Structure 1
Amino acid sequence: MSEIKLSARQLAIIEFVKINEPATGDQIARSLELTRATIRADLSILTMTGILDARPKVGYFYSGLDLNPTIYEDIRHLKVNEIMTTPVFVTKETSIHDAIVTLFLEDTGSLYVIETTDLIGIVSRKDLLKGALADTDKKATPIATIMTRMPNILTVTKTDSALYAAQQLVIHQIDSLPVMDDKKAIGKVSKTRLTQLFVDTFKNE
């Protein structure tokens, strides 16, 4: 069984939370003389592995549970291809109106824009909200006018770790990451999927 290896900074975060719970992210950052952005990935790992419990608008708590090394190692070695889901594809000619309808019908957080089979852009809920509020003809205006275009899209590959994907989602505050094979999106990793994964893992334990 592999030994759990937390960084010195992560151990310091745990000790601070133990003494000061509930501790906010800002309080933790100040205690370490760092910025909130610097420790965001550490907090993500500590909450996803069950060491800390994050409660919105309250702060972080120490879970009090002994971390199971086997579960930690299983999650740490989990690959993107084991957790990715199928994206919802649209074309750049799709109107903002039709994209909004598709988003809700498919119950997804983002739409992947393709040309032939290549990924050329992503449209998020936030993009569509901005597009809906703009003074334009929603049934005529294509989503190409509001999408985030390649190469300005963060991506992962199927061999990247699930924890790496989770860190990217947290650090960059985005809803999903395309899983790429050359120029083709073969899947996606979303915050919703990762949250469900960690909840199910520790609930079953």
Structure 2
Amino acid sequence: MIEFSERQKKIMEILAKHEPITAEQIAELLGVSKGTIRSDLAVLVMTGYIEAKPKVGYFLAKGAQTTKTMEAFKKIKVKDVQGVAITVNGSTTVNDAVISLFLEDVGSLIIVDENHYLEGIVSRKDLLKVTLGNAQATTMPVQMLMTRQPKIYTATPEESVWEAARKLIYYEVDSLPVVKVEENQSQNMKVIGRITKTNIIKALLNLDKEEI
């Protein structure tokens, strides 16, 4: 069972009194920025406790329609919504990795070898930590600070989006590398994409458009 944060509980209390309500209005009532509650809203939508409609806002999930939506959501596979993986090799310098992060507008980079097998992940926070107060760190290869197995959480293309969402929430990460495990080589995982909270929210909104 997922344990919600105090802010997520307050968001549901606000919806109970003021639904439908926009993210901007929720943020204003909480006294925070819209960006601050973006991940909270994503968690609540992905777990089926609240729903969102374009140009309407957020509201508490209700009855049969919610059940029907969640059943359809659980049938969607990762391969149906995954995005392109932003990858670099381990010898890439910290400086070049930072440039890639901002050019691609992502929060993390996936590190792969010459065969595109997963080696690690480096986040914006990792890069910030190593560069603060250390100008020489910009020439350091990212393989020296990347997160390695078994601390990398992944998804497979045939996995349900629902399961990927559970991993994102449980491990408190923004994205998962989508990997294909080579036959008889469990340690070799070829990176074929990535799935993010944004991918999942779009999938939910598309279900709403289809009027399931």
Classify the secondary structure of the residue corresponding to 2:82.
coil
Query: Which residue is equivalent to 1:177?
Result: 176
State the 1:141 CA deviation.
0.9
Report which stretch shifted further, 154-163 or 45-54: 45-54
Equivalent-residue separation in structure 1 for 2:75 and 2:173 (angstroms): 23
State the 1:45 CA deviation.
7.4
Query: Which residue is equivalent to 1:196?
Result: 202
Equivalent-residue separation in structure 2 for 1:127 and 1:49 (angstroms): 29
Classify the secondary structure of the residue corresponding to 2:138.
coil
Deviations 1:34-73 (A, max 9, x none): xxxxxxxxx977633654259xxxxx96345752554332
Question: What code does the residue aligned with 1:21 have?
Answer: E
Equivalent-residue separation in structure 1 for 2:43 and 2:102 (angstroms): 31
Contact 2:46 2:165 (8 Å CA) reproduced: no
Equivalent-residue separation in structure 2 for 1:140 and 1:48 (angstroms): 40
Query: Which residue is equivalent to 1:78?
Result: 76
Query: Which residue is equivalent to 1:97?
Result: 95
Query: Which residue is equivalent to 1:109?
Result: 107
Query: Which residue is equivalent to 1:159?
Result: 158
Equivalent-residue separation in structure 2 for 1:132 and 1:161 (angstroms): 38
**Cα RMSD (Å) of the superposition?**
3.1
Question: What code does the residue aligned with 1:160 have?
Answer: E
Classify the secondary structure of the residue corresponding to 1:21.
helix
Mapping of 1:18-57 within 5 angstroms?
21-22=13-14, 47-48=45-46, 51-52=49-50
- Residues 69 and 63 of structure 1: CA distance in aligned 2, closer, same or farther (over 3 Å): closer
Deviations 1:88-112 (A, max 9, x none): 1101111111101101111122111
- Residues 90 and 53 of structure 1: CA distance in aligned 2, closer, same or farther (over 3 Å): same
Q: Name stretches of at least 5 consecutive residues in structure 2 with no aligned partner.
A: 3-8, 16-40, 53-57, 182-188
State the 1:170 CA deviation.
0.8
Contact 1:50 1:202 (8 Å CA) reproduced: no
Give aligned-pair identity as a percent.
36
Within the alignment, does 1:132 sit opposite 2:131 as a pair? yes
Contact 2:42 2:201 (8 Å CA) reproduced: no
- Residues 21 and 63 of structure 1: CA distance in aligned 2, closer, same or farther (over 3 Å): same
- Give the TM-score normalised by structure 2: 0.66
Query: Which residue is equivalent to 2:35?
Result: none
Query: Which residue is equivalent to 1:149?
Result: 148
- Residues 134 and 180 of structure 1: CA distance in aligned 2, closer, same or farther (over 3 Å): farther
Q: How many residues align?
A: 166
Equivalent-residue separation in structure 2 for 1:53 and 1:68 (angstroms): 8
Q: Name stretches of at least 5 consecutive residues in structure 1 with no aligned partner.
A: 1-8, 11-16, 24-42, 55-59
- Residues 63 and 70 of structure 1: CA distance in aligned 2, closer, same or farther (over 3 Å): closer
Question: What code does the residue aligned with 1:194 have?
Answer: I
Query: Which residue is equivalent to 1:122?
Result: 121
